[in-house]
Structure 1
C-alpha cells in the first residue's frame, strides 16, 4: 500500500495525535518496530550508493576541471570568444597599439587554430580573459601559467597578471618568448589577495608579431596536487560521499543533439592539446539559460574520470553512445550496417581500461602514466534511449561485448521516465534479453517519491537488477528554472531511499543527478552541489545521500511493525542493515510529518548491543528551507551519543527528519 504525506487539514489531526506520541517513552502512541538480525534479506552491493557526473551547469570546464582560461586554444566556434581586445582597437586596428587574429592551420580537427598578435606601439597591446564567469583567486595560493609561443617578427615580452575589476594586480609574472619555433613557456606566481571574479591580463610589450596557443592557468593546490588537475574542494565533497561507483560522462551529453556532436571518448584521451573540442549539448538547450560559450575542452577526459574513480575507491562506470542521438532533439540514427564503429568504441574502451600495455589502447593508457589496468567491470550502452531502435542496437553491442569480454557487466536503459508506454516496452524487451542491469530515471515531485517508496517491493528477484541512475525530486516541475534544493525534496528522497535500501536484492546501484551547478552558469536545477569561483556548499539532498552512502551496511535486515515493512504508515519510512565487517546495526528512519513520533526498536537475534550508540539527525522545521553560500549548513547533520539498555532502543523522531541510528554489536562481525 502507498501512503501520501499529510498536509493542510491533516496537519491538525497530526498535531492532536502528537499529544499522545511525543513523549520518548513506551506507551499507547509509540511505534513498536522489530528488527531480526539473524534473518538477513540480502547482501548490499558495494556499488549501492554512487556518483553520477555530467558536464552540465559548467560542471567540468569552469567547475571540476580547474583550468581558469576559457577558450585557451582558440578553438571555439568564435575563435576569440572569451578573449577581449581593447575596444578602441576593434574599430581602428591600423592606427592602434595592435590587433589579434585567429589563424587556422591545416585541416586538423583538434587544435587547428592559434592566435597571431601584432604589436604596433611601444606602449604595448593587451588581451584579457575573464575565465568562466570570472576567475576565483585565493590569497596565498600559487598559480601556474603555461603557454605555447613563437616570435615571428621583432621582440616582445609578455607581462601576465591576474587583475580585479579595477585593474589592480593580484599577482603577476613575465615571459619572454624567443625564436620562430613553437616552445612551451611556464611561470608561477602567488596571489596577493582574494577575488571572486578576477581576469587574466596579457600585456605584450615591444613591437613585433607573436603567435600564442594553449594559454593555461591552474591553481597549484589541485586534487592530490596533480599539475593541471581538478579543483580540490569539489573533489573532496565527492570523496566524502565514499561512493561505490562513478558514472561518467553523463547523461544526455553522451548522446549529443546529433550523432556528430555525440561524446566520443577516444577524442578525450592522449595529450591535452590534441583533444578535439566539442560544443556542449546544453549550450542552447534551454531558452531560460542560454550559454553560447559552453564548450568542452576535454581536459577532463576518460583517463581523468578513471583516475578519479580510482582515487575515491569507486567502480568506474562509463556510458557510451549506442548510435542514437538525443531523442528529445533530433533522434538521429546511425544505420544498422554502419554501427560497427560505435561497437568498436565500446570494445576499445574496455581495452583502454583493462588491456595490457602491449595492446594498442592499453599502451595509450600506459603512455598517459597508468600502466596498471583500471579493472573496469561495468559498461553502459546508451543513456535514455527508448523504442525498438534502441533494442536492436543494444543486442548488437551485447553480443559483441560478451563474445570478447564475457565477464563485463552491461548496463542497459529503460528510457527517461519511470513509467508509461516507453518504459514498459523497454523493460519488457530487456527482460526477454536477460539484461543484467537496467537503468531507471525519475525526475518527479516529492509526493511521487513518497508514494513510490515501495516501488521495488514487487520486482522479480530473479530478473534484471536495477540501477537508479538519475533521480531528484523536483520542487516545481522537470527542467523548471525555479526548482529548489529544499528540505521538502530532500526528505522525500530520503524516504524513497529507504525503499531502495530495503530492496537491495534488486537495486544494485543508485545515484542522484545532476551533480554540480555553477552559481552563475547553471542550466538545470535542482543539483546536488552548488559552487561559485571561490567556494562550494552541499545541499540538504547531498547530506541525505551522504548519510546513506557512508552508512551502507553489508546486509539488509527485516524491519517491521505489526509484521509489515515501514513504508509510510503515519508518515514514517524505515530500513535496517547490518555491517558484518565493523559489527554494527544501522537503522535509517524518516519522519515525513510535522510532529515528533516515538519508536521502540526491539532487536532479535543478538545476545547484546553496545551500551552506547550514535544518532545522526538531519532535519528542518521548514520544508522550503535550503542551504546557500551564506548559510551552507542551514540544514546539516547533527550527531549525539545515546545510551542503550539491553536490546531495546527508544528513539524520538523529530518532525520532518531523517535519523540514522548506529549501534555496535560485536557478535555481528564475520
Structure 2
C-alpha cells in the first residue's frame, strides 16, 4: 500500500513539473482572453507617412556621425581655430602654423592656415578626428585639401593615417603647385583596422604653404557617393522603411540666439562655401559639455532631401519662425522684420520643387538633382509657445498658403503634452484651422502605458496630429543615466497601438532623438548608437521597425467585449490590413510578467492555414542592446498555424508580437 501511495505521489509531482514547463505561471488555470478582429470593417486609412524619422544634429549625429568626414575642424573655423589639431612635440621646433582670417573677402570660409617650414626638416599637423577616426583595413581613403604655395620652393605634403601607437597604416604624397587656390587629391588604402586613428599631414620644406578644407573620407559611403554619408548608419535608417524624414531638428532649428539659428540657405551649394557655426548642444548640459561640437553643414538641406529620397521617405523640413530657443535667450525678431524668415520658407519650397529655370531650381539641378524633391509639408517653428508664436505663425501661414496652398504646415504645441502652454496653443491653433499639430512627449514608461488611449476621443474634424518627438525615459527627462531598456521600448510599443488605432487623427509619428555617438552624446535615450566603426539599433529601434515594416493600409477593429484593447489585462492591441499583400496584420503587447493565452477570432475574412509570427521580447525589463551584443533584443520570425478563423497563442511575458496572415474576404 505504501509503494502504491508513493507511486501515485511521484506521478503527481512529475505531472506538475510537466505542466509548469508547458504553461508558465498563471497560464494553466487561466482562460484565454477572447478578441474579435473585424477584418471587413475598415475604420480609417493608414497615412503613408505614418511611421517616420526625426533627425537632429545632437550627440554627434551629423559631423562625427552620419556625415562620413573624418577630419574635425577641417577649415579652422571653430572658436579656437586649431581645435582638433596638434603639433607633435618632436617636430614642433621645425616650423610654425599661423591661422589667417580673410573675413572681408570670404565671409563664409574666412580662415585658413599658413604653414612655414624654414629648412629641410619636417613639420606636421595631426588631426584627432571625432573621438578618434574609425579606420578599416582594406578600405580606400580619399584625401583632399585646398592649397597654394607662398614661396618659390614648393612644400611637399605627406598625408598618413596613424594607428593608436602612432604607426602609419596608409599614406600618400601631394605637392601643391602655384600661388592660387586649387584643390588637390590623393588616395591610399589602410593596412589595419583601428577605432582611434588620427590623420597626420607632414610638411617638407623649406617653404611656405597655405592650406584649407583638409578632408578625408572613406571611399565606400552610402550609394558610393563621394564625400557622402556613413553607409551602416544610413542602412539602419533605410531598414525602417520610414514614411518621412524630419530635419534638421529639433531645438537646433531655433539656436540659442537668432544669430546662430539654423539657416538652410547657408547649407547648400559648394561645401567649401558653407559657413561653419557652433552647435547649440556644445555646452547645453553641464554634465555633458562638448565644446568641440560645431556644424560644418557638409550634411545640408540638399543632402537631407537626397537622403529622404534614398530611403523612400517624404521630406519634412522645419524652419525657424523668428524665435530663438525659449529655454535659452527667448529672443524673437520684431514682427515687422519677419520678411527674410518668410522668404526663406518660400525659397525652400522653390528649391525643393521649382523648375530648373528658376533661381532655386537651377541651384538644385547644379547640385545634381534636376528633378523636384516633391516637398509637400513644412514645419513652422519647433517647440515654440505663447502668443508670440501664434502671432508669427499666422503671418507665416498666410504668406505660404497664398503662394503654395497645397503645402501642409506643421505647427508647434509647445514642449509637452499638457499644461498651460499646450492648452493655449491647442485651443488657439484649432480655432485657426491649422493643418497638423505637433505634440511632444518625453516621460516615464508608465505615462506611455496610461496614455495609450489618448487619441481615442480626439476631435475627428479638427487638425491632424503629428507625434513629432517621443521616447520613454527610464530615469527621468534630462537625466544622463537614461537607458534604452526593454521596459521603455515595451511601453512605447503599447502606446503606439493607440497611435495606429487612431490614424484618422494621428497621421505621423517619430521617436526622438535618432542617433548618438557612445562617446559624444548629450541626451539619452536615443534610437541608434554607434562608435567610430560599429552601430546598433536599440530595442526601441526594433519596436519602430516592426511598426513601420508592418504599417498596412487601413485600420480595422480588434475588440474585447466590444471595446478597444488598451491595457485591460495588461494587453494592448491594434490591427491593420495590408492591401498590397492581402494580409491581416495584428499587433499585440503584453506588459505583464505572466504569459497570457489569447484567442483571436477573425470576422469578415477567411485566413490562410499558416501565417508569420514576429516576436520581440526580453526576460528582463532592464534588458539592453549594445555594440558588443547588438541583437540581444531583436525580432524573431517564425511560422504559426491557423485553424479556421481563430488564431490561438500564448503571449509571452513582456513581449510585443506581430501576426500576419493572408486572407480572402
- TM-score, with length taken from structure 1: 0.95
Question: What SS does the corresponding residue of 2:394 show, helix, strand or coil?
Answer: helix
Which residue is 1:103 aligned to?
100
Structure 1 partner of 2:132: 134
Q: CA deviation at 1:206?
A: 2.1
Alpha-carbon distance, 1:152 to partner? 0.8
Match of 2:75 in 1: 73
Q: Using the alignment, how far apart are the partners of 2:646 and 2:555 within structure 1?
A: 20
Distance in 2 (CA, whole Å) between partners of 1:20 and 1:324 is: 56
Equivalent in the alignment of 1:43: 45
Tell me, yes or no, if the aligned pair for 2:156 and 2:205 is still in contact at 8 Å. Answer: yes
**1:351-366 alignment to 2 at 5 Å?**
351-366=350-365
Residue pairs, 1:115-514, within 5 angstroms: 115-153=113-151, 154-514=153-513
Superposed CA offset, 1:124-172 (max 9, x none): 1011001100000001111001111111112221111000121111111
Aligned length: 642
- Within a 5 Å distance, the mapping from 1:634-649 to structure 2 comes to 634-649=632-647
In structure 2, what is the equivalent of residue 610 of structure 1? 608
1:572-611 alignment runs, 5 A limit: 572-606=571-605, 608-611=606-609
Map 1:524-563 to 2 at 5 A.
524-563=523-562
| Alignment match, 1:624 | 622
- Cα distance change on mapping 1:20 and 1:291 into 2, 3 Å: closer
Residue in structure 1 matched with residue 27 of structure 2 by the alignment: 22
Question: 1:293 & 1:497 partners in 2: Cα distance?
Answer: 37
3-state DSSP class of the match of 2:608?
coil
Task: Give the secondary-structure state (helix, strand or coil) at the position aligned to 2:607.
Answer: coil
Aligned residue in 1 for 2:14: none
Deviation at 1:230, TM superposition (A): 0.2
- Deviation per CA, 1:87-124: give whole Å up to 9, x if none: 4776xxxxx20011111114232111111000123221
Q: CA deviation at 1:494?
A: 0.3
Q: In the aligned structure 1, how far is the partner of 2:516 from the partner of 2:364?
A: 30
Equivalent in the alignment of 2:6: none
After superposition, the C-alpha distances for 1:259-311 in whole angstroms (9 at most, x for unaligned) are 01100000000000001111000010000010110000000000000000011
CA RMSD of aligned residues (A): 1.2
Cα distance in structure 2, aligned partners of 1:278 and 1:347? 24
| CA deviation profile, 1:514-552 (whole Å, cap 9, x unmatched) | 000001100000000000000101100000000000000
d(CA) in 2 for partners of 1:119, 1:663: 72
Given candidates 47, 63, 66, the residue that maps to 2:65 is 63
Distance of aligned partners of 1:216 and 1:28 in 2 relative to their CA distance in 1, 3 Å threshold: closer
8 Å contact kept, 1:21–1:30: no
Distance 1:609 1:68 in 2: 53
Structure 2 CA distance for aligned equivalents of residues 536 and 158 of structure 1 = 34
**Distance across 1 between alignment mates of 2:30 and 2:536:** 42
Give the equivalent residue in structure 2 for 1:93. Answer: none
How many angstroms does 1:580 deviate by? 1.1
Point out the more displaced range, 527-536 or 73-82: 73-82
Secondary structure class of the residue paired with 2:100 = strand
CA distance in 2, matches of 1:405, 1:244: 22
Distance in 2 (alpha carbons) for counterparts of 1:406 and 1:151: 54
- Is the Cα contact below 8 Å between 1:89 and 1:99 reproduced in 2? no
Paired residues of 2:24 and 2:595 also in contact (CA < 8 A): no
Q: How far apart are the structure 1 equivalents of 2:150 and 2:203?
A: 14
Could you say which residue in structure 1 is the equivalent of 2:654?
656
Question: How far apart are the structure 2 equivalents of 1:303 and 1:20?
Answer: 56
Deviations 1:366-423 (A, max 9, x none): 1111111101000000000000000000000100000000011111010000000000
Unaligned runs of 5+ in 1: 1-14, 91-95
Q: Residue 247 of structure 1: SS of its match in structure 2?
A: strand
Instruction: Please identify runs of 4+ aligned residues in structure 1 that moved more than 6 A.
Output: none
CA deviation vs aligned residue, 1:159-212 (integer Å, no higher than 9, x gap): 110001211111111101111111111111111110001000011112110001
Change (3 A) 1:336 1:603: same
| Distance 1:430-1:413 versus aligned 2 partners, 3 A rule | same
| Secondary structure, aligned partner of 1:307 | helix
Asked if structure 2 preserves the Cα contact closer than 8 Å seen for 1:383 and 1:413, the reply is yes
Question: Counterparts of 2:379 and 2:499 in 1: how far apart (Å)?
Answer: 21
User: In the aligned structure 1, how far is the partner of 2:141 from the partner of 2:468?
Assistant: 37
Give the conservation status (yes or no) of the 8 Å contact 2:377–2:409: yes
Contact 2:91 2:123 in 1 (8 A): no
Cα pair 2:119 2:207 within 8 Å, conserved: no
Q: Which moved further from structure 2: 301-310 or 203-212? A: 203-212
- CA–CA distance in 1 between the matches of 2:496 and 2:206? 65
Offset at 1:645?
1.3
SS at match of 1:610: strand
Question: How far apart in 1 are the matches of 2:94 and 2:133?
Answer: 26
Alpha-carbon separation, structure 2, partners of 1:557 and 1:290: 48
Q: TM-score, normalised by structure 2?
A: 0.95
Unaligned ranges ≥5, structure 2: 1-19
Residues 33-66 of structure 1: CA deviation (Å, up to 9, x unaligned): 0000111110000000000000000000000000
Partner of 2:521: 522
Q: Distance in 2 between matches of 1:341 and 1:529?
A: 36
Q: Secondary structure at the match of 1:553?
A: coil
- Whether the aligned pair in 2 keeps the contact of 1:515 and 1:527 (CA below 8 Å) is yes
Q: Does the residue aligned with 1:609 lie in a helix, a strand or coil?
A: strand
Contact 1:576 1:587 in 2 (8 A): yes
Alignment partners' CA distance in 2, 1:480 and 1:143: 39
Matches of 1:641 and 1:109, distance apart in 2: 62
